[in-house]
């Protein structure tokens, strides 16, 4: 069995906007969600910037009792999912619950709860920690809350493959529907790791960007000669995926067709990106979508602004697309929303889907000094409108070597 899979609902909580419309408008306007941190532990950090969601108010969505059992990353996932379900006008009857599931991605799950527990036990010598610490912090908590809220009795899986976690979640959810195991899937990712311990760990790895002295919002500079690293972010994104026939029958709004996906492993190095592995994944996703390189009108790049990563991705695009690589607009929206780790693949795929819907391409901001080794069309600093797009691609390349590529195209019944 091979069925067509369409996208019927979108929901997002991100540093660049907390609705799909706000998110895409801010991307097109080149507005950065990166800012100086104002948290209580900022003085203990060397890197004092992040892409935080400062306007997220849990009390506006959950009762005090609910908040005792729902961690920040799960809260964001639930809010994003509610947007997506409402956007899709999704209603399931009793016969459909077992054919609907949820796949989510996250790197650290409830990082805040874990860290609070460590502080109580190891710093304050307090043997008593939150009774629900395990349930708050487990990686699959967000997916479980979504399953419970919407009574989804089909597959419920959380993927943790570093930066590609939520791209894998979306891709594997697509396969569930494509091959007949499910009819509807909620798919995406959530991350909330802006904690002292997590940020100190990333500082130690020496991959975080230093604050731009003139403009903190310009600190992430993908594909730029003066780039110096990534900026950590937080948030969640959830998409509603459906069997195309079901969506048509109920008269659903369709953003596009999820037409291609593949994942693979570099199998070479735990942190060093590998253009050969990335190229294999891109070509496999194109084959799955039954598309040619010339069919892709826009690529949302992984584009983390690390020295090696941006060069290897540029090489991979040239290897996969040949001469076409120079004709395709490519942008890194991480320049605006930061790197949301386990949530970033879903956030960036959503950006690509919205580009397809609006026939517009968001920019890579802060690209004032192009790196000669990154010589493709990286849509420097200003978005483009009225761009004829029939198919778009989103790349996610992770520490550990797990690569994922997603392709969406305009849906024609």
Which of the residues 163, 220, 263, 374 is marked catalytic?
163
Element (H, E) at 148: helix 141-150
Domain spanning 261-409: which CATH class is it, in words? alpha beta
C-alpha to C-alpha distance for 304 and 279, rounded to whole angstroms: 17
Q: Residue 344 in 3-state DSSP?
A: helix
Whether residue 339 lies in the annotated active site: yes
Choose among 119, 107, 135, 109: nearest CA to 40: 119
Q: Is 61 a catalytic residue?
A: no
Domain segments of the chain as ranges: 5-249, 261-409
Q: pTM of whole model > 0.85? A: yes
**How many other CB atoms are there within 10 angstroms of residue 261's CB atom?**
27
Q: Where are the alpha helices (DSSP H) in 290-326?
A: 307-321
CB 231 within 8 A of CB 211: no
- Strand-pair partners of 331: 300
Q: Can 337 be counted among the known catalytic residues?
A: no
Task: Report yes or no: 236 and 13 within 8 Å, Cβ to Cβ.
Answer: yes
Supply the pLDDT for residue 6. 99
- Residue 1 pLDDT: 72
- A 10 A CB-CB count for 138 gives 19
Q: Do domains 5-249 and 261-409 have the same CATH topology?
A: yes
Q: In what order do the strands lie in the sheet with 298-300?
A: 156-159, 100-105, 184-191, 235-243, 5-13, 256-265, 402-409, 391-397, 298-300, 330-331
Assigned architecture for domain 5-249: 3-Layer(aba) Sandwich (3.40)
* Averaged pLDDT in 10-residue chunks for the chain of 413 residues: 95 98 98 96 97 97 97 98 98 97 98 96 93 97 98 98 98 98 98 97 97 97 98 98 98 98 97 97 98 98 98 98 98 98 98 98 97 98 98 98 98 95
Catalytic site residue from 302, 337, 358, 374: 302
Active-site residue, from 145, 339, 358, 374: 339
Alpha helices by DSSP H, 322-399: 334-337, 344-358
């Amino acid at each position: 069995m091979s069925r067509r899979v369409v996208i019927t609902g979108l929901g997002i909580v991100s540093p660049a906007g907390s609705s799909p419309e706000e998110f895409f408008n801010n991307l097109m306007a080149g507005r950065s969600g990166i800012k100086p941190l104002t948290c209580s532990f900022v003085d203990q950090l060397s890197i004092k910037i992040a892409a935080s969601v400062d306007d997220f108010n849990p009390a506006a969505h959950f009762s005090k009792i609910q908040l005792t059992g729902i961690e920040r990353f799960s809260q964001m996932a639930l809010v994003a999912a509610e947007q997506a379900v409402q956007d899709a006008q999704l209603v399931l009857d009793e016969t459909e619950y077992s054919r609907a599931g949820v796949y989510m991605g996250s790197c650290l799950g409830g990082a805040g709860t874990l860290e609070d527990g460590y502080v109580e036990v190891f710093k304050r010598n307090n043997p008593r920690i939150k009774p629900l610490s395990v349930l708050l912090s487990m990686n699959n908590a967000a997916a479980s809350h979504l399953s419970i809220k919407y009574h989804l009795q089909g597959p419920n899986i959380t993927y943790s493959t570093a930066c590609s976690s939520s791209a894998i979640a979306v891709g594997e959810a697509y396969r569930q529907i494509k091959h007949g195991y499910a009819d509807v899937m909620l798919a995406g990712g959530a991350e909330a790791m802006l904690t002292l311990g997590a940020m100190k760990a990333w500082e130690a790895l020496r991959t975080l960007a230093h604050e731009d002295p003139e403009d903190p919002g310009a600190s992430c500079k993908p594909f730029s000669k003066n780039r110096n690293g990534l900026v950590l972010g937080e948030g969640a994104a959830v998409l509603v995926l459906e069997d195309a026939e079901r969506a048509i029958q109920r008269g659903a709004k369709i953003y596009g067709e999820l037409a291609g996906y593949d994942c693979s492993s570099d199998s070479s190095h735990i942190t060093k990106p590998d253009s050969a592995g990335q190229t294999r994944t891109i070509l496999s996703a194109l084959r799955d979508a039954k598309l040619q390189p010339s069919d892709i009108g826009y690529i949302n790049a992984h584009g983390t602004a690390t020295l090696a990563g941006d060069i290897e991705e540029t090489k991979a695009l040239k290897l996969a697309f040949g001469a076409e690589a120079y004709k395709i607009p490519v942008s890194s929206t991480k320049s605006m929303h930061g790197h949301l780790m386990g949530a970033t693949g879903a956030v960036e795929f959503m950006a690509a889907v919205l580009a397809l819907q609006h026939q517009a391409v968001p920019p890579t901001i802060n690209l004032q000094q192009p790196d000669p080794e990154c010589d493709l069309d990286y849509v420097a600093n200003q978005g483009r409108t009225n761009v004829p797009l029939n198919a778009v691609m989103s790349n996610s390349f992770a520490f550990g070597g797990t690569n994922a590529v997603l392709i969406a195209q305009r849906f024609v019944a």
